[in-house]
Amino acid sequence: MTVRERTQMLEEQILSPYATLSKNTLGRDVPEQECDVRTPFQRDRDRIIHCKSFRRLKHKTQVFLSPEGDHYRTRLTHTLEVSQIARTIARGLMLNEDLTEAISLGHDLGHTPFGHAGERVLNELCPGGFRHFEQSVRVVEKLENNGKGLNLTKEVRDGILCHTSGEPAKTPEGRIVRLADRIAYINHDIDDAIRGGVMTESEIPQSITSVLGNRRSVRIDTLVHSVIRTSDGNTIAMAGDVKEAFDRLYHFMFEYVYLNPYAKREEKKVPFLIRTLYEYLKMPGHLPEDMRQIAGEEGIDRAVTDYIAGMTDRYAVELFQEISVPRSWNH
């Protein structure tokens, strides 16, 4: 018996009847020989962690554009916090933690530079629109590994696609990630907003803190416990009073942070920057070779969108400066 087979036997013995067993995976688009140590979902997790798109998340905006402080979240630290919360819930419900982790780590691979501000601009520019969750799937299916993709299992790709809105994921593990994503970003965005002087903890209404708690760790603990106690393994949910308070906190954050002119004052510069890059890269010879191949297969707009979506904040700024700001003359 191999290590993988032993792990899969333990999954069958220990996990909930609702859990997605790795031995029952719907498989990959391109069949592969099984690993003797890792299950299919563990291999997917490892492929995501080692891909270039995952590493670039460390220089992509979460909420505050290119923050200079060491302690603000980036898209990478957000991803890690989602994974921690989702894994805790999955373990509490005896669901497949490996599948949950793989979906969590891959859910934002397609996010643009400058957070949702960049996403909104690409959605306007790209024919057919742009949605980061669809781009995340495109990254793992097409863009990574020199155009070959990562050949992930169908369960992981479904969880990535469904992590934000629309139809829920087909697996309970994927449905956990959707909820964990929201738990993570609401709470760490409060922390960053307080650090940035945008709001104070005391401004959160008492009707919310009396249910969820008045500290980040307490709120997360309350929310995670509520999901574990309320969910039946297939339906992933919070208790009614907790969900109501959490929804009110979500709307509070939109008013005080996400639409706050002070917090978002730099975002007004993003459309001009992205549009400038978009028009420049559509000109002949400005795309790198791998993107030119996509342009030949799927059109120039698709290739330019893929290239910009994969940029970090700093690279996008550097490229904008290179094409827009005159250099000092040097003989």
CB 93 within 8 A of CB 87: no
Determine the CATH number of domain 37-315: 1.10.3210.10
pLDDT at position 259, please?
86
pTM of the full structure: 0.96
pLDDT at position 331, please?
64
- The residues near 230 (Cβ < 8 Å, ≥ 6 apart) are 237, 238, 239
% the chain with pLDDT above 90: 88
Tokens encoding 93: 């419900």
Query: How many residues are listed for the chain in this entry?
Result: 331
Virtual torsion, Cα 106, 179, 115, 287, nearest 10 deg: 30
pLDDT, averaged across the chain: 95
Does the pLDDT at position 328 exceed 80? no
Residue 35: φ, ψ to 5°: -75, 145
pLDDT tens for each residue of 247-275: 999 999 999 898 888 878 888 999 999 99
The upper half-sphere exposure of residue 225, i.e. CA atoms within 13 Å in the direction of its Cβ, equals: 10
pLDDT tens for each residue of 54-76: 999 999 988 776 666 788 899 99
pLDDT tens for each residue of 89-138: 999 999 999 999 999 999 999 999 999 999 999 999 999 999 999 999 99
Residue 212: which pLDDT band, with cuts at 50, 70 and 90? very high
Q: How far apart are CA 233 and CA 32, in angstroms?
A: 30
- Candidate from 45-49, 109-113, 222-226, 322-326 with smallest mean pLDDT: 322-326
Q: How far apart are CA 131 and CA 193, in angstroms?
A: 25
CB 32 within 8 A of CB 67: no
Q: How far apart are CA 285 and CA 267, in angstroms?
A: 29
pLDDT at position 107, please?
98
* Spatial CA neighbour of 280 closest among 315, 311, 324: 324
Does the pLDDT at position 165 exceed 90? no
Section 315-323 average pLDDT: 95
The upper half-sphere exposure of residue 297, i.e. CA atoms within 13 Å in the direction of its Cβ, equals: 9
